[in-house]
Structure 1
Amino acid sequence: MDFEEAASRLYAAPAADFIATRNELAKELKTAGDQLGSTRLKALRKPTVAAWLANLVARELPDDIDDLLALGDEFREATTDLDGERLRDLTPRRHKLIDQLTKAAARLSEREGQKVSADVGQKLRETLDAALVDPAAGEAVREGRLSSALRHVGFGVVDESGEPSNVTALTDERRQRAEERRAKKATKAEPEQAEPEVEETAAEKKQREKAEREREKAEREQEEREAAEKAAAKKEFEDAVAAAESAEAAVADLAGQLEAAREALADAQEAVHRVGDELDEARKAAREAQKESREARKRYNRL
């Protein structure tokens, strides 16, 4: 068993057994010689009820989750193409699929003995919608290891506390391909120029060529600006990912230290109880010895 398998087993366990299961699996990894995997597993957080429900849906209804993510791809494609008619057609499908998944989640939760409150149901809807809108959130939901519900806001995805989620953004390749498709469509849609009935004059030709040069120059400048913006955004993204990975490593290290400290504290507390019991026994023996000494003295004095 490696870390990935252990993490999957952990988030598939009943919510009430999460801590006990985590400790047991971490111990198994440690016994197998995977100290890093054991430490990483101990750092995994117990899911909220809404996150537990989303994980349950991901495990039990993977095909429906795939349909949700595929619909998200269609939405992003239509948005990039500025295809308003297609977006209007996709929106009812979006609501219908999320409604179906939410109702199915309630049935699955009832089967597991967990009642779904209105708040939990709403957080599940927000998580499913975030999975549809954001590719990284979609992959996180599909993986089935959420510790918090997700919500898509203007700048990205946040967790239940409103903090930015640690789901990693994907590349913008789909958007670039969609832009290329749109450019090809625009090229094909341009009406063919009719043959002029009269030849253009030299002045008109000069003016047309000048306009074409200016348009080409503007297009090059626009491409250069977009390339620079994309490079800056990529660097910002890579820096953010590196910072997140560093923070996660620090969390894992501190979690390991905390667990070791807890184990040491438990050992110390056990030693305190043991020594206390021994002290009580020693005091009791001392009192008995003093009592026997007094009785012996009395018998001696009577002689």
Structure 2
Amino acid sequence: MTDPADDLYGLPQAEFTAARDAAARDAKAAGDKMLAARLAKLRKPNAVAWLANQLVRQRREAVEQLVDLGDQLRAATTRLDGEQLRRLSTRQHEVVADLVRQAHELADRPVADATERGLEQTLRSALADPAAADELLAGQLSEGLSRIGFTSLLSAVPTDDAVDTSTQGAPAGKPRSKAAAVAGESAKPETAAERTERKAEKRLQAAAEAARKQAEAELADAEALLRTARDTVDALRQRLDEAYEGRAEADRAVQAARKRLQQADRDARLAARGLTDVSVRASDR
């Protein structure tokens, strides 16, 4: 059985509210109070969410490729595969840009810059977070997604074996110099405590670097969200100014119409009085 909510989120944005209310009434009339309550609580999708929902419905294969790319990015991050990460990073920009382009094709009106940025943020959230990806694929968003950061980044900190290279010999084919050999022979053996301390320090350094990169990525995403919010506020302020101007214009039109009505009433009374006078004079004759 088709989920009524899924049908509602596939409708044009302007039709959502009336269709939702009608669906809730029908469910209540049919005796399904739980469904009626659930439908009544559904929120109308904003422009970003509506575009994302349409992409899932009409370009699902492309959206699934985006989600799969996110899985690959997380796997490459865990493996610390720098070459793969660079390749996938370039690919993710291409995939997001292509989905935004397709969203423009599906839109029933020109897409505002703030809406486009919100859609990009939603798609990048689905790349970074599997839970966000599931929400996107469900196709029932009421607003854009804003999850940021790869949750598996810190788990990619190198292990002891990966970090500790001091005990390894020189690379094959490159014998140590005489000075290095002498230094190695005269150096004191490293104690177990010193070795453990050095490994711990390197792990902490690696963790700090990973955390720094994560913070930089989250800062960039947060700044993008802030820009989107500011653009939204500016757009709302402009619409509010236009609404105030429209109300003032309507007030002026009402006042003018009232004056015309009052004048018409006066003219009607004068005309009626004139007809009465003519009738009286006619009867006197």
Whole-Å separation in 2 of the counterparts to 1:184 and 1:66:
37
Match of 1:42 in 2: 40
Selected match of 1:151 from 121, 146, 155: 146
Contact 1:50–1:149 (Cα < 8 Å) also in 2: yes
* Aligned pairs (5 A) from 1:77-96: 77-96=75-94
Match of 1:126 in 2: 121
Q: Residues 215 and 178 from structure 1, CA distance in 2 versus in 1: closer, same or farther, beyond 3 angstroms?
A: closer
1:93 shift after superposition: 0.7
Cα deviation 1:141-161 (Å, max 9, x = unaligned) = 111111112334xxx49xxxx
Q: Residues 106 and 192 from structure 1, CA distance in 2 versus in 1: closer, same or farther, beyond 3 angstroms?
A: same
Match of 1:72 in 2: 70
Contact 2:77–2:153 (Cα < 8 Å) also in 1: no
Match of 1:278 in 2: none
SS at match of 1:114: coil
1:86 shift after superposition: 2.6
Contact 1:77–1:178 (Cα < 8 Å) also in 2: no
Code of the residue aligned with 2:122 in structure 1: it is T
> TM-score, structure 2 length as denominator?
0.54
* Aligned pairs (5 A) from 1:230-249: none
Q: Residues 84 and 10 from structure 1, CA distance in 2 versus in 1: closer, same or farther, beyond 3 angstroms?
A: same
The answer for unaligned runs of 5 or more in structure 2 is 171-187, 205-285
What is the identity percentage for the equivalent residue pairs of Structure 1 and Structure 2?
36
Whole-Å separation in 1 of the counterparts to 2:120 and 2:127:
11
Whole-Å separation in 2 of the counterparts to 1:75 and 1:39:
40
SS at match of 2:141: coil
Whole-Å separation in 2 of the counterparts to 1:25 and 1:13:
13
Q: Residues 64 and 44 from structure 1, CA distance in 2 versus in 1: closer, same or farther, beyond 3 angstroms?
A: same
Q: Does 2:51 match 1:53?
A: yes
**Residues paired across the two proteins, number:** 190
Code of the residue aligned with 2:139 in structure 1: it is G
Match of 2:162 in 1: 186
1:212 shift after superposition: 6.5
Q: Residues 15 and 86 from structure 1, CA distance in 2 versus in 1: closer, same or farther, beyond 3 angstroms?
A: same
Q: Residues 77 and 25 from structure 1, CA distance in 2 versus in 1: closer, same or farther, beyond 3 angstroms?
A: same
> TM-score, structure 1 length as denominator?
0.51
Q: Residues 22 and 192 from structure 1, CA distance in 2 versus in 1: closer, same or farther, beyond 3 angstroms?
A: same
Match of 2:96 in 1: 98
Q: Residues 184 and 97 from structure 1, CA distance in 2 versus in 1: closer, same or farther, beyond 3 angstroms?
A: farther
1:84 shift after superposition: 3.2
Q: Residues 190 and 150 from structure 1, CA distance in 2 versus in 1: closer, same or farther, beyond 3 angstroms?
A: same
SS at match of 1:28: helix
SS at match of 1:146: coil
Whole-Å separation in 2 of the counterparts to 1:124 and 1:93:
18
Code of the residue aligned with 2:43 in structure 1: it is R
Q: Give the aligned CA root-mean-square deviation in angstroms.
A: 3.9
Match of 2:60 in 1: 62
1:92 shift after superposition: 1.6
